[in-house]
A and B are shown apart, each in its own frame.
Chain A
Amino acid sequence: MIIEALIGFTFVAALLVLLAPNEWAGRLAFALSLVPFVGSLYLWSGFEAGGNALTGGTIAFESQIEWLEIGGRSVSWFVGLDGISLPLVVLTTFLVPLAIVSAWTPIDTRQSQFYGLMLFMEANLLGVFMALDFFLWFIFWEAVLVPMYFLIGVWGGPRRKYAAIKFFVYTNAASLVMFIGFMALVFGLGDSVSSFGLPEITQALAAGELGMWFGIPPETLAMAAFLAMFFGFAVKVPVVPVHTWLPDAHVEAPTPVSVMLAGVLLKMGTYALLRFNFTMLPDQASMLAIPIAVIAVLSVIYGAMLALAQKDLKRIVAYSSVSSMGYVILGLVVFTEYGVGGATFQMVAHGLISGLMFMAVGVVYNATHTRMIDDMAGMADRMPIAVGILVAGAFAYMGLPLMAGFAGEFFIFVGAFGADAALPYAPVFTALAMFGIVIVAGYLLSAMQKTLFGPFRLETDYEVGPAPFHDIAPLGVLLAAIIVLGVAPDLFFEMIRDAALPVVEGVSVDG
Chain B
Amino acid sequence: MVDQLPQWAALAPVLALAATGLLLLLIDAIKPSSRSNTSMAGTSALGALVSLALTVWFVVAGTGHEDTGGAIYLLADAIKVDTMALFFTAIFASVTALVVVAAHDYFHDHESPAEFYSLVLFSATGMALLAVANSLAVVFVALEMVSLPSYALVGFLKKNRGSVEASLKYFLVGAVSSAIFVFGISLVYAATGSLILSDVAEGIESVDGLAGVAGVGIVMMIGGVAFKTASVPFHFWAPEAYEGAPAPVSAYLSSASKAAGFVVAFRVFTEAFPVGASLSAGIDWVLAFGILAVVTMTLGNFAAVVQTNVKRMLAYSSVGHAGYALIGLAAISAGGSGNDAVMGAAMAHLLVYGFMNTGAFLFVAMAERWGVGRTFEDYAGLAKRAPIACVAMAVFMFSLAGLPPFAGFFSKYFLFMGAIDNGFVWLAAVGAINSVISLYYYSRVVKAMFLDDPSSPSALDAVDVRPTGLYGAVIFAAVATVLLLPGFGPVIETAEAAAAALF
Binding site for B on A (CB under 8 A): 67-71, 113, 138-139, 141-143, 146, 150, 153-154, 160-161, 164-165, 168, 172-173, 176, 180, 187, 214
B492 contacts which chain A residues (CB < 8 A)? 68
Task: Given A68-B489, A70-B417, A160-B451, verify A143-B404 contact (CB < 8 Å).
Answer: yes
B451 and A71 within 8 A (CB):
no
**How far does the Cβ of A127 sit from chain B's closest Cβ, in whole Å?**
10
Instruction: Report the number of A-B residue pairs with Cβ-Cβ less than 8 Å.
Output: 54
Contact in complex: A153, B451 (CB < 8 Å): yes
Provide the bound-state CA to CA distance between A180 and B420, in Å: 12
In the bound complex, CA of A456 to CA of B290 (Å): 72
**B403 located at the interface, meaning its Cβ lies under 8 Å from any Cβ of chain A in the complex:** yes
Q: Which of B421, B450, B485 contacts A154, CB < 8 Å? A: B450
Tell me, rounded to whole Å, the shortest Cβ–Cβ distance linking A424 to chain B: 38
Q: Is the CB of B418 within 8 A of A139?
A: no
Q: Does B405 contact A214, Cβ atoms closer than 8 Å?
A: no
- Of residues 215 through 260 on chain B, the ones whose CB sits less than 8 Å from some CB of chain A are none
How far is it, in angstroms, between the C-alpha of A69 and the C-alpha of B436 when the chains are bound?
25
CA distance A70 to B488 in the complex (A): 11
Q: Are B414's CB and A113's CB within 8 A? A: no
Residues of B contacting A150 in the complex (Cβ-Cβ under 8 angstroms): 450
Selected contact of B447 from candidates A70, A165, A172, A176, CB within 8 Å: A165
Q: Is the CB of A68 within 8 A of B425?
A: no
Given A71-B418, A113-B387, verify A214-B485 contact (CB < 8 Å). Answer: no
Contact of B404 among A68, A71, A139, A180 (CB under 8 A): A139
List of B residues within 8 angstroms of A146 by Cβ: 398, 403, 405
Q: Is the CB of B405 within 8 A of A71?
A: no
Rounded to whole angstroms, the CA-CA distance of A58 and B286 in the bound complex is 50
Complex formed: what's the CA distance from A70 to B439 in Å?
24
Residue ranges of B at the interface with A (Cβ–Cβ < 8 Å): 338, 341, 387, 398, 403-405, 409, 413-414, 417-418, 420-421, 425, 432, 436, 439, 443, 447, 450-452, 485-486, 488-489, 492-493
* 21 CB < 8 A contacts A-B: A67-B489, A68-B489, A68-B492, A71-B418, A71-B421, A142-B403, A142-B404, A142-B409, A143-B405, A146-B403, A153-B450, A154-B450, A154-B451, A160-B451, A161-B447, A161-B452, A172-B403, A172-B439, A176-B432, A176-B436, A180-B432
- Specify which chain A residues have a CB less than 8 angstroms from the CB of B485 in the assembled complex: 139
Q: Is A161 in contact with B451, judged by CB distance below 8 angstroms?
A: yes
Which chain B residue lies CB-closest to A160? B451
> Contact: A67 with B404, CB < 8 Å?
no
Rounded to whole angstroms, the CA-CA distance of A79 and B36 in the bound complex is 54
Question: Min CB distance, A58 to chain B, in Å?
Answer: 28
Cβ distance B403 to chain A, nearest Cβ, rounded Å: 6
In whole angstroms, what is the CA distance A68 to B492 when docked?
Answer: 8
Contact check, B403 vs A71: say whether CB atoms are below 8 A apart: no
Closest chain B CB from A266 CB (angstroms) = 20
Chain B nearest CB from A111 CB (Å) reads: 13
User: Are B338 and A71 closer than 8 Å at their CB atoms?
Assistant: yes
User: Which residue of the partner chain B has the closest CB to A66?
Assistant: B489
Query: CA of A168 to CA of B398 in the docked complex: distance in angstroms?
Result: 12
List of 3 A-B pairs having minimum Cβ-Cβ separation, nearest first: A68-B489, A142-B404, A143-B405
Using CB atoms, name the residue of chain B closest to A214.
Answer: B425
Q: Which residues of B contact A143 (CB under 8 A)?
A: 404-405
CA A113 – CA B388 in complex, angstroms?
Answer: 11
Compute how far the CA of A68 lies from the CA of B489 in the bound complex, rounded to whole angstroms: 5
- Cα A140 to Cα B98 in complex, Å, equals 30
Using A153-B451, A165-B447 as known contacts, list a sample of 16 further A-B pairs with CB atoms less than 8 Å apart, ordered by residue number in A.
A67-B489, A69-B489, A71-B341, A71-B418, A113-B387, A139-B405, A142-B409, A143-B405, A153-B447, A153-B450, A160-B451, A165-B443, A176-B432, A176-B436, A187-B420, A214-B425
